[in-house]
Structure 1
Amino acid sequence: MNSIIGAHGTAGVVQTALRMPLPLREKLKAEAKTLGRSLNTHIVMRLSEEPEEATAQK
C-alpha cells in the first residue's frame, strides 16, 4: 500500500476532520482500493494533483 508518510514519521502532517457526502466517500474508497491506496492517501494525492492530472483520471 502506498503511503504519504515518509521515513521521518508524521512531522509536518496535520490531522483534519472532513465532512463529505456518503456517495463521494464511497467513490473515493473504490478508487483508492483499485489503486492500492488507503482512503487518506488517495484523498491527499488527489488534492495535491495539478488540475490537468485530475481531469485526465476521469
Structure 2
Amino acid sequence: MAKPKSNNVQVNISIPSEWKIQLENLARIYSVEEGETVTFLDLMRRGIQEKYQLRDKDNE
C-alpha cells in the first residue's frame, strides 16, 4: 500500500547565525522541560503558529 501524502511543504529561509545559536539553546531547555526532543525548527514552527494564530486542519 502506498504511503499517504503529507500536506506539508518545505520552505528554505536564512536566519542570522546568532538566532540559530539562541534557538538551539532554547530548544535544549525546552527539551529538558518537556521530556522530549525539541529542535530549533520546532521552536520556529511554534512561534509562527502562535504569532499568526494558525491551526492545522487536523486540529480544527
TM > 0.5 fold call: yes
Q: Cα RMSD (Å) of the superposition?
A: 2.1
Residue 39 of structure 1: CA displacement?
1.6
TM-score by length of 2: 0.58
Structure 2's unaligned 5+ residue stretches are 32-37, 53-60
Residue 10 of structure 1: CA displacement?
6.7
Alpha carbons of 1:39 and 1:10: their partners in 2 closer, same or farther (altered >3 Å)? farther
TM-score by length of 1: 0.60
Structure 1's unaligned 5+ residue stretches are 1-8, 52-58
Counterpart in the other structure of 1:3: none
Tell me how far apart the structure 1 counterparts of residues 44 and 27 of structure 2 sit (CA, whole Å): 8
Higher relative contact order (CA closer than 8 Å, sequence separation 6+): 1
Alpha carbons of 1:50 and 1:20: their partners in 2 closer, same or farther (altered >3 Å)? closer
Structural mapping, 1:3-42, within 5 Å:
11-36=6-31, 37-42=38-43
Name segments (4+ residues, structure 1) moved above 6 Å.
none
